Amino acid sequence: MRALLGPGAADTEVDDDVLRGCVEVLRRWGWDRRPAAVVAMPSRTRPLLVGSLARRLAEVGRLPLSSLAYAHGGPPEGSGGGNSAFRPAAVWDRVVVPPEVAAGLAALDEAPVLLVDDLADSRWTLTVAARALRRAGAGGVLPFVLGLAG
């Protein structure tokens, strides 16, 4: 994981070994209800990695795939620092559910979605994304990341 997520790591498609590990983690997850779709976070630093991981998990699970988007240019660069008041303010209303994704959520009958990202730092971006998905009709949001920063 350090080779994929460490400083200076190249953005690359997820490899088979990492995918197998992710599938195994998800297989052992104690689901209350299986996710009905996979949603990728928009990634500025690793779009190939996040996109390919989300796509391949959707293929394995035979689930529809979609992606969130950024509004207003997304979170400002370097907004990961600061105290707990500044972190949510940097992402609030900047992660959005595109209309076609919202329409797909309506067809999921209140089932949860698997939200895929590469790295979580403060977890505020995932929280704001989950809020946007819930407001758009997702029955629940199950965040899945490859690693935690710090």
User: How does residue 101 score in pLDDT terms, banded at 50, 70 and 90?
Assistant: very high
| β-bridge pairing 95-96 and 69-70 | antiparallel
Task: Flag whether pLDDT at 150 surpasses 70.
Answer: no
75-97 average pLDDT score? 65
Residue 7 lies in a domain: no
Residue 113 lies in a domain: yes
Please state the length of the chain.
Answer: 150
Backbone φ and ψ of 10, nearest 5°: -75, 145
Residue 17 lies in a domain: no
pTM (two decimals) = 0.88
Q: Assign 18 to helix, strand or coil.
A: helix
For residue 143, give every residue at least 6 positions away whose Cβ sits within 8 Å of its Cβ, in sequence order, or none. 115, 117, 120, 123, 126, 130
The runs of H, that is alpha helices, within 63-138 are: 86-91, 99-106, 124-135
The pLDDT mean for the chain works out to 87
Number of domains in the chain: 1
Residue type, 118: D
Residue 144 belongs to domain spanning: 46-150
